[in-house]
Amino acid sequence: MGEALSLEEVAERLGVPKEVVLREGIRLFLENELRNVRIEIDRIGSKYGVHSSEELWRKIEAGELTESECLNDLMRLEYLEARLEEILRLLRDSK
């Protein structure tokens, strides 16, 4: 595998300002992270037939699931939802 390209090298070789390369790189990174987080949220949600940690909590409170059988997924789902919101904020702020 070759050496990683530097920001300066990419900008120079393409004749684009470094700021454009950096801004577009950050945006694409955030969009990729957003896609990955949504995929994982969907994977966990489909396991329990829910779309959010709130719905999963409601199933626990209703006695449909026990907290012990889904605690790890519940914690992961809450983390992913917070990460999703932060990524969306960053994408909004980057425009």
How many Cβ atoms from other residues are within 10 Å of residue 49's Cβ? Answer: 11
Tens of pLDDT, residue by residue over 67-94, are 999 999 999 999 999 999 999 999 999 8
Model pLDDT for residues 3-48, shown as the tens digit of each residue = 899 999 999 999 999 999 999 999 999 999 999 999 999 999 999 9
Query: What per-residue confidence (pLDDT) applies to 10?
Result: 95
What pLDDT does residue 94 have?
A: 87
pLDDT of residue 1: 61
* Whether the predicted pLDDT of 2 surpasses 80: no
First to last CA, the chain: 34
pLDDT of residue 16: 97
Say what the pLDDT of residue 84 is: 99
C-alpha–C-alpha distance, residues 40 and 78, integer Å: 12
pTM greater than 0.85: yes
Two tokens, residue 17: 């300002």
Q: Is 80 exposed, middle or buried (0-12, 13-18, 19+ CB in 10 A)?
A: buried
